[in-house]
Amino acid sequence: MALIVQKYGGTSVGTPERIEAVADKVIAYRDQGHQLVVVVSAMSGETNRLLELAGQISDRPVPRELDVLLSTGEQVTIALLSMALEKRGCPARSYTGGQVHILTDNAHNKARIQDIDAERVGADLSAGRVVVVAGFQGIDEEGNITTLGRGGSDTTAVALAAALKADECQIFTDVDGVYTTDPRVAPDARRLDRITFEEMLEMASLGSKVLQIRAVEFAGKYNVPLRVLSSFEPGNGTLITYEEEGMEQALISGIAFNRDEAKLTVLGVPDQPGIAHLIVGPIADANIEVDMIVQNMAPDGKTTDFTFTLHRNDYARAMEILQATANELGASEVSGDDKIVKISLVGVGMRSHAGIASTMFETLAKEGINIRMISTSEIKVSVVVDEKYLELGVRALHEAFELEQEAVN
Amino acid sequence: MALIVQKYGGTSVGTPERIEAVADKVIAYRDQGHQLVVVVSAMSGETNRLLELAGQISDRPVPRELDVLLSTGEQVTIALLSMALEKRGCPARSYTGGQVHILTDNAHNKARIQDIDAERVGADLSAGRVVVVAGFQGIDEEGNITTLGRGGSDTTAVALAAALKADECQIFTDVDGVYTTDPRVAPDARRLDRITFEEMLEMASLGSKVLQIRAVEFAGKYNVPLRVLSSFEPGNGTLITYEEEGMEQALISGIAFNRDEAKLTVLGVPDQPGIAHLIVGPIADANIEVDMIVQNMAPDGKTTDFTFTLHRNDYARAMEILQATANELGASEVSGDDKIVKISLVGVGMRSHAGIASTMFETLAKEGINIRMISTSEIKVSVVVDEKYLELGVRALHEAFELEQEAVN
């Protein structure tokens, strides 16, 4: 018998029929002897309906009241799912975030979980009940309703699993696991049985939109085994855990990529301490997120060249800001490109194997793909290339690292 | 400066535009220097939408979960109204029933308020905020969400007014006050400026559907001045208070009536102690509510005749039950009529004036209306007549007691 926390997203509970299907699935797990806590999102479309209502009242609704409004979405789902369970003779109890004391800070619309009082949930589980909890929401210390921001239901599930010391946290979604890369780009992409938290974090932040990053961080921090699996298809999905001793690890777990990137370069700035901050600071002050940053000595040996990437939507505004900064600093030139993409190899196996990066560069060179920027970390290598090479590059790398095959032990 | 609790029903907050209009109205009161607590219902149609969702899952949804579901309706409204107030620069805070500790018993779907902790609301009022509270809902001692049953928002408003010792509780609705009778029946019906709690209770229970009976009882019990007024039209509405010393009271305040009545008679039952219970008991056990009960000695002087009224919907079932009882008791006959109505004169002035009943009977006789049953209490006289005489009877009585005119002091 295991204690399992399951989370079903908006699509999985999008209609009363689908909620009934979730009830069947939950009961099938329970019939195997497991204890179950089920976290649900708002029915798909519901959050948008509520946002539209708010939009009819105000362009900028007060954050506190927006949370009061949006949190009703999940509350509807928990009630309906509990009704469906009870109809099937399965004792169930629904709880809002506040009712199970999911304590957050008071940052409305993007609150962070600080503590969970698992006592009430534990009592219900001991009494043989399935506990259904509203995802995405909590209360602050004063009892005000907060929300964790869109998609935050994953975090609720992981946090509950951590507080309850659950054996596994299962995230049911509309994909059946984590893939070596996007199958729409590389048709022979393969579903991974396992991946480490660190790899998943790199994959997620690089554009594989399977799980909320914060949920993965949380699961890693509290060592909650996390499984991604499909609401609609059978299968075991992908298990995300810590690397286990003695386990042979694949060199590369997957290839992530980001479309919609842009890069900005400023040439010939004085090479002095603090120059990076002088350049990036004004961009950050404008609430523009900078991704990769690369700095190189200029050919003259006295000045430095500075390049960074950001989201394409922020390109024009960042360019303006950078030009002003460049003038102040007496830089020789500012240039940019908003037709680039980023491709990243991710794998904890890199730590113990040399030559990954050079195989990557060689593979891309063979295809005639020019690398515009490189950035590396312990478990990933990212390159920036022209937009038009995205598909070709991902497919070539997928093949070169034989990701379509299971790792050989 | 007064402390006013206002309540706006589902029609008054039926669309975002109407919610904005309510915000304007609330601010107008605030600008007069009043402190305001606003209780709102679900937007009209919302409760039915939620019930339909539940109905798609289960014919008999668990009461606890139905409350979790339905309580989201008011939660949406409090958020939207607070947004509308804040947009207008008026500081506001919304609270669910649970958040302001509206403590109820645990009778889900028809809970009764037991206590309110007004501390939090008081603090907000002192800070200059308008407090917006979800009507119709509370929590039980274990923190489970409860609802007061449909229309219970009136009770929430009155209970808050009592707990806060408010100067007045204003119920905004789609009628502009309490009338001497239904204007659709008697076109010269007049809006009353004032009515006593007792009269209002008799009027409400007899079919004037302006206010929830429980809200009036509550207001009477805690002596909260209650005002009914229109959301859409200007005017002072009707104030419901205790009778004031020295105030000349009108003989009759109004004429209430109930359509959809039926009556059942059992003739010739043995006249023995406990006979009423033997007859009415089985009906009550079948959850059928009995209204008027009249018992008379039969012409033979040894047996008794027994008549009672009930809702027309329950007629067939009650008839079956009564026939079985009559057989057991050896009664001589059972008869019934489901084409009757009840007309009632209501007025605290009756207490000190004789002859009201006889004027009533005389008036009806003049119109050729046969009275089938009579029942009296301290402040009302009710008669049962054939359905076809309802309009004629009400109009004749309205005229006979000169209700179209203000009471003369």
Both A19 and A168 in one domain: the answer is yes
Calculate mean pLDDT across residues A197-220.
80
Query: Which residues does chain B have within 8 Å of residue A75's beta carbon, measured at their own beta carbons?
Result: 68-69, 71-72, 75
Q: Which residues in B221-301 belong to E strands, given as ranges? A: 226-230, 238-241, 254-270, 290-297
- Minimal CA separation from A92 to chain B, in Å: 9
Structure tokens, B349: 């002035």
Does A280 fall in a domain?
A: yes
Q: Which of residues 351-380 of B touch A (CB under 8 A)?
A: none
Q: How confident is the model at residue A172 (pLDDT cuts 50, 70, 90)?
A: very high
Calculate mean pLDDT across residues B155-182.
93
Q: Supply the pLDDT for residue A407.
A: 62
Both A29 and A169 in one domain: the answer is yes
CB pairs under 8 A between A and B: 113
For chain B, the domain total comes to 2
Calculate mean pLDDT across residues B87-116.
95
Both A152 and A280 in one domain: the answer is no
Contact at CB, B61 and A76, closer than 8 angstroms? no
CA dihedral for B168, B169, B174, B178, sign (positive or negative):
negative
ipTM of predicted complex: 0.81
Nearest CA in chain B to A50: B76
Q: How confident is the model at residue A297 (pLDDT cuts 50, 70, 90)?
A: confident
Q: Supply the pLDDT for residue A326.
A: 93
The last residue of a domain, from among A130, A147, A174? A174
Both A153 and A282 in one domain: the answer is no
Contact at CB, B82 and A62, closer than 8 angstroms? yes
Q: Supply the pLDDT for residue A208.
A: 58
The residue assigned the tokens 């890369």 is A181
Does B186 fall in a domain?
A: no
Both A270 and A170 in one domain: the answer is no
Both A259 and A163 in one domain: the answer is no
The last residue of a domain, from among B144, B174, B204? B174
* pLDDT surpasses 80 at A189: yes
Which of B24, B58, B64, B68 should one mutate to test binding to chain A, selecting the residue with the greatest count of A CBs within 10 A? B68
CA separation for the pair A211, A218 (Å, rounded): 12
Contact at CB, A56 and B87, closer than 8 angstroms? no
CA separation for the pair A49, B80 (Å, rounded): 13
Question: For the domain that residue B310 is a member of, what is the CATH number?
Answer: 3.30.2130.10
Q: Is B21 an interface residue toward A (CB < 8 Å)?
A: no
CA separation for the pair B60, A53 (Å, rounded): 30
A9: left (phi over 0), alpha (psi -120 to 50) or beta: beta
pLDDT per position as a tens digit, B74-85:
999 999 999 999
CA separation for the pair B78, B290 (Å, rounded): 39
Q: Is A143 an interface residue toward B (CB < 8 Å)?
A: yes
Q: Which of B19, B65, B72 sits opposite A72 (nearest CB)?
A: B72
- Minimal CA separation from B98 to chain A, in Å: 10
Domain of A339, in residue numbers:
255-400
Contact at CB, A75 and B96, closer than 8 angstroms? no
How would you class B258 by CB atoms within 10 Å of its CB: exposed for 0-12, middle for 13-18, buried for 19 or more?
buried
Q: Which of A64, A83, A145 sits opposite B54 (nearest CB)?
A: A83
Both B264 and B149 in one domain: the answer is no
Other C-beta atoms closer than 10 Å to the C-beta of B352 total 8
| Nearest partner of A223 among A177, A161, A135, judged by Cα | A161
CA separation for the pair A56, B362 (Å, rounded): 59
Supply the mean pLDDT for chain A. 91
Both A161 and A20 in one domain: the answer is yes
Both B265 and B155 in one domain: the answer is no
The answer to whether B310 touches B327, Cβ cutoff 8 Å, is no
Helix axes B390-400, B356-366, angle to 10 degrees: 130
pTM: 0.82
Strand partners, B296: B305
* pLDDT surpasses 90 at A399: yes
Q: Supply the pLDDT for residue A355.
A: 83
The last residue of a domain, from among B131, B152, B174? B174
CA separation for the pair B157, B215 (Å, rounded): 8
Does A236 fall in a domain?
A: no
- Minimal CA separation from A98 to chain B, in Å: 10
pLDDT per position as a tens digit, B192-241:
999 999 899 888 766 556 788 888 888 999 999 999 999 888 899 999 99
| Nearest partner of A50 among B218, B375, B7, B80, judged by Cα | B80
pLDDT per position as a tens digit, B305-351:
889 999 999 999 999 999 999 999 989 899 999 999 999 999 988 88
A269 is in an annotated binding site: no
Q: Supply the pLDDT for residue B354.
A: 76
Q: Which residues in B154-214 belong to E strands, given as ranges? A: 168-173, 194-196
B8 is in an annotated binding site: yes
Alpha helix segments (H runs only) across B222-368: 275-285, 315-329, 356-366
pLDDT per position as a tens digit, A108-132:
999 989 999 888 999 999 999 999 9
B282-286 LR contacts (CB < 8 Å, sep 24+): B282/B321, B282/B322, B282/B324, B282/B325, B283/B308, B283/B310, B283/B318, B283/B321, B283/B322, B286/B317, B286/B318, B286/B321
pLDDT per position as a tens digit, B116-160:
988 899 999 999 999 999 999 999 999 999 999 755 899 999 999
CA angle B106, B108, B112 (to 5 degrees): 60
Question: For the domain that residue B102 is a member of, what is the CATH number?
Answer: 3.40.1160.10
CA separation for the pair A307, A336 (Å, rounded): 9
